[in-house]
Copies of this chain bind each other. A is one copy, B any other.
């Protein structure tokens, strides 16, 4: 059965029912009115973000719809985690053609809902539009775990630079469709340490660390050999492949030592140190010689 049989309002009624499985007491009114009505949390800061996946750019027809749905929700959760936050609510815009199979959409939502439930996110609204290429836009609200968000701008000279997991080859390996956003790692960091800056790796380690350096007006020395790499990933891939969704975090050196000594259930890998701005971003080989820094992924 394709969507033209079910009709727009039929599809909305179906999805409304499925999404209700994600609601908690903080959802006064979910899907089914002009907007969602939500009880704000106790946090002092609201976090607000959005990310879109487009067929042919971020995923292809041959990929599992459930996995694409997972990714659409998880990449927004990852952004909220990278602020030291906890995700709460999402609205979803779906662009589909009338020839899209109903099962494609229900599987997409099943994937979104499973991940939303896992991370306590309620899917509370959305929009539906006609589009020849499938589109999934998610906007998400969260709140900070601590009293302040962890921005990109707080890294200080001497801070250690760490990542939460191995990098590279995410798209080729299909890992970009099944990654788990680092919400627990972010919460652990915020509750036990004082991260000075944090970002998730979506454009590639070099590009995203570059954002921290730009906002913090700092440089960095990265030791190529210290970068944890996924199986089969080259250094170039670990530096430049996007969509790893690991966190890059900077911490005062003494805190990093404590973290690396005491690590329990979470993995953290030091990859380098923040340096003065004039040094720029240097990727060093084992002899301390400089390795070239290629650019991360850009849409155009």
Residue among A34, A125, A140, A199 having the largest count of chain B Cβ atoms under 10 Å: A34
Q: What's the least CB distance linking A185 to chain B, in Å? A: 14
Which residues of B are found within 8 Å of A156, using beta-carbon distances? none
Say whether B54 contacts A35, CB under 8 Å: no
Q: Complex: how many Å from CA A52 to CA B4? A: 20
Say whether A34 contacts B298, CB under 8 Å: no
Which residues of B are found within 8 Å of A43, using beta-carbon distances? 40
Q: What's the least CB distance linking A27 to chain B, in Å? A: 10
Which residues of B are found within 8 Å of A199, using beta-carbon distances? 33-34
- Contact residue among B9, B39, B97, B127 (Cβ-Cβ distance under 8 Å from A50): B127
Say whether A33 contacts B130, CB under 8 Å: no
Say whether B52 contacts A36, CB under 8 Å: no
Which residues of B are found within 8 Å of A40, using beta-carbon distances? 40, 43-46
Residue of B nearest to A197 (CB): B33
Which residues of B are found within 8 Å of A85, using beta-carbon distances? 35
Say whether A50 contacts B133, CB under 8 Å: no
Known: A9-B298, A38-B46. A29 touches B151 (CB 8 A): yes
- Contact residue among B37, B48, B133 (Cβ-Cβ distance under 8 Å from A91): B48
Residue of B nearest to A41 (CB): B40
Which residues of B are found within 8 Å of A35, using beta-carbon distances? 47-49, 79-80, 82-83, 85, 140, 142, 149
Say whether B7 contacts A50, CB under 8 Å: no
- Contact residue among B45, B139, B215 (Cβ-Cβ distance under 8 Å from A37): B45
Q: Complex: how many Å from CA A31 to CA B187? A: 23
Q: Complex: how many Å from CA A272 to CA B45? A: 44
Q: Complex: how many Å from CA A90 to CA B236? A: 37
Q: Complex: how many Å from CA A198 to CA B198? A: 43
Given contacts A32-B215, A98-B300, 5 further A-B contacts (CB under 8 A): A35-B85, A39-B46, A40-B45, A50-B126, A50-B137
Interface residues of A (CB under 8 A from B): 3-4, 7-9, 28-29, 32-40, 43-52, 54, 57-58, 79-80, 82-83, 85, 89, 91-93, 95-98, 124-133, 135, 137, 139-142, 144, 149, 151-153, 198-200, 215, 298-300
Q: List 30 A-B contacts (CB under 8 A).
A: A7-B300, A8-B298, A29-B149, A33-B83, A33-B199, A34-B49, A34-B79, A35-B49, A35-B79, A35-B82, A36-B48, A37-B47, A38-B47, A39-B44, A39-B45, A40-B40, A48-B139, A48-B141, A52-B95, A52-B129, A52-B135, A52-B137, A96-B300, A97-B300, A98-B300, A127-B137, A130-B299, A131-B133, A131-B135, A137-B137
